[in-house]
Amino acid sequence: MPLQLFNTLGRKQEEFIPLNPGVVGFYGCGPTVYNYAHIGNLRAYVTHDILVRLLRERGFRVNHVMNITDVGHLSGDNDSGEDKMVKSAAERGRTVLETAEFYTQAFFNDTDRINVIRPSVVCRATEHIDGMIALIKRIEERGYTYSSGGNLYFDISRFDRYGELALLRMDELKAGARTAVDENKRNSGDFVLWFTKSKFENQALVWDSPWGRGYPGWHIECSAMSIKYLGEQFDIHAGGIDHIPVHHTNEIAQSEGATGIHPWVRYWVHNEFLVMDKGKMSKSAGAFLTLQDLVEQGFDPLDYRYFLIGGHYRSQLQFSWDSLEGARNSRKSLMDRLRLLAETAGADNPHSPVSFDSPASSGSPAIKRLDAFNAALDDDISTPRALAELWGLLKDNAVPPADALRACLYMDRVLGLKLERALIGGGEEAPPELTAEIEDLVARRNAAKAAKDFAQADAIRNELSLRGIVLEDTKTGTVWRRAK
């Protein structure tokens, strides 16, 4: 069975077929960097990570683009409330850009620790204002906008397909107009493309535009940046389910409004929420747990990754310390079993290349397990079933230890649990003798990047990440470190 994904647009599971053979354009909404990511946000990024890894395993070259929201996001997604960045900067006595930089670094520190492969492109909203203005001009030229009270709005009543993604009904949206919070809006569902000082006198970051000095609405950044890096039509757009009715609905209206191309995005993938005993975890409400909180309670970030992939991304997942404890115990037994297997397998090096799909090995017990594992992932990314197959493999006495090890490492290319660590010295850290080999891989990745062979460069980064090595591209070159 080829890879199938549940597409929010149309609400059905479909075979994944990219626009251009062999290549996938993937956009995942990134963080608003006014605070630490909470563990619910990390669920979204682990979901993106598993999907990107899976697509790469299926042979696609994935261009993974993620935005960093450092301007324009108000506390209410529908243009109401305060500016999240401005408020946070004021509270911390820092500038907006300092605040953004601090939390962007903190974000990547967390995602590295939880073994999320960094996107191919990370784009900051404040560095793409020209592109947003250019896109808004196109939307305006096609007649979808109006000015009111100093702001430029998108008029949803002019866009016939408005609400298709979220199954919103235009008559209901119009009825909502009576309760509109912003009196400048003709319809409560209309949204701001460009704010001017008329709304926020103290806005820290403002730019000149054809509509006056001001700043962009939140939704336009994702349309402008995804189109810039992935083209006017692309394959997959991902985010949490909270984004379906407003943010993603508005992104579609803007992008298709500007280009006239439908569908702008072919597959919409949305993860369900991580919930606490007390309900939704929310950054703006201030009540949330970070990865560091878990670490301070003695958990390894990978315990949390294990906990997350134990649930299907489209089902709500309830966080509790007890279930995290359960995940830690399971991950520990997994690593112990792997260490035991490695001892039993002895000199038979699990890193030696083995073709699992060669005719000679088809029908072997390891291949059967791998087939079931792949089938689970191809069935709308069923990580719980995939994890069960990993366990099934480890408990299957019919599988020779060396085969089992190879199969586990192969499975881990998608699961990202750093199972490799069980084999290198038995500890959680890579031993120093691996240093030369790692440096050689880093040099090969740099050469691949210089030759613009990004698929190869990504493959090497993945390989290193499997060994618990994180790469950082700095101005003076690539440096590596062991993941914490």
Residues that bind ligand AMP (CB under 6 A): 29, 31-32, 40-41, 43-44, 239-240, 242-243, 271, 273-274, 280-281, 283
Provide the minimum distance between the beta carbon of 149 and Zn ion in the complex, in angstroms, as a whole number.
Answer: 25
Provide the minimum distance between the beta carbon of 319 and ligand AMP in the complex, in angstroms, as a whole number.
Answer: 9
Provide the minimum distance between the beta carbon of 14 and ligand AMP in the complex, in angstroms, as a whole number.
Answer: 21
Exposure string (b/e) for 84-106, b if CB count within 10 Å is 16 or more? bbbbbbbeeeeebbebbbbbbeb
Q: What token pair was written down for 221? A: 């950044």
281 binds, among Zn ion, ligand AMP, none (CB under 5 to 8 A by kind): ligand AMP
**Which sign does the torsion angle of CA 232, 235, 240, 246 carry?**
positive
Q: Is 183 left (phi over 0), alpha (psi -120 to 50) or beta?
A: alpha
Burial of 173: CB neighbours in 10 Å, binned 0-12, 13-18, 19+: middle
Provide the minimum distance between the beta carbon of 356 and ligand AMP in the complex, in angstroms, as a whole number.
Answer: 34
Q: What token pair was written down for 366? A: 């390891």
Provide the minimum distance between the beta carbon of 244 and Zn ion in the complex, in angstroms, as a whole number.
Answer: 12
273 binds, among ligand AMP, Zn ion, none (CB under 5 to 8 A by kind): ligand AMP
DSSP 294-305: HHHTT--HHHHH
CA atoms within 13 A on the CB side of 301: 21
Provide the minimum distance between the beta carbon of 41 and ligand AMP in the complex, in angstroms, as a whole number.
Answer: 4
Instruction: Output 281 or 464, the one with its CB closest to ligand AMP.
Output: 281
Closest-by-Cβ residue to ligand AMP is 240
Amino acid (1-letter code) at residue 434: L
End-to-end Cα spacing for the chain? 37
- Three-state secondary structure call for residue 360: coil
Alpha-carbon torsion, ordered 363, 364, 369, 372, to 10 deg: -10
Instruction: Output 239 or 311, the one with its CB closest to Zn ion.
Output: 239
Please say whether the beta carbons of 56 and 92 come within 8 A.
no
Instruction: Output 254 or 271, the one with its CB closest to ligand AMP.
Output: 271
85 binds, among Zn ion, ligand AMP, none (CB under 5 to 8 A by kind): none
Provide the minimum distance between the beta carbon of 46 and Zn ion in the complex, in angstroms, as a whole number.
Answer: 18
Provide the minimum distance between the beta carbon of 142 and ligand AMP in the complex, in angstroms, as a whole number.
Answer: 28
Please say whether the beta carbons of 465 and 116 come within 8 A.
no
Provide the minimum distance between the beta carbon of 67 and Zn ion in the complex, in angstroms, as a whole number.
Answer: 6
Stretch that binds Zn ion, among 26-34, 196-204, 261-269, 277-285 (CB under 5 A): 26-34
Out of 24, 29, 50, 399, name the contact with Zn ion by CB under 5 A.
Answer: 29
Stretch that binds Zn ion, among 29-37, 120-128, 139-147, 169-177 (CB under 5 A): 29-37
CA atoms within 13 A on the CB side of 109: 13
126 binds, among Zn ion, ligand AMP, none (CB under 5 to 8 A by kind): none
468 binds, among ligand AMP, Zn ion, none (CB under 5 to 8 A by kind): none
222 binds, among Zn ion, ligand AMP, none (CB under 5 to 8 A by kind): Zn ion
274 binds, among Zn ion, ligand AMP, none (CB under 5 to 8 A by kind): ligand AMP
Out of 89, 193, 205, 222, name the contact with Zn ion by CB under 5 A.
Answer: 222
Stretch that binds Zn ion, among 197-205, 222-230, 309-317, 381-389 (CB under 5 A): 222-230
Taking residue 321's Cβ as centre, other Cβ atoms within 10 Å add up to: 12
18 binds, among ligand AMP, Zn ion, none (CB under 5 to 8 A by kind): none
Tell me which residue of 149, 226, 207, 225 sits closest to 180, measured CA to CA.
149
Taking residue 217's Cβ as centre, other Cβ atoms within 10 Å add up to: 25
Taking residue 343's Cβ as centre, other Cβ atoms within 10 Å add up to: 10
Site residues for Zn ion per CB under 5 A:
29, 222
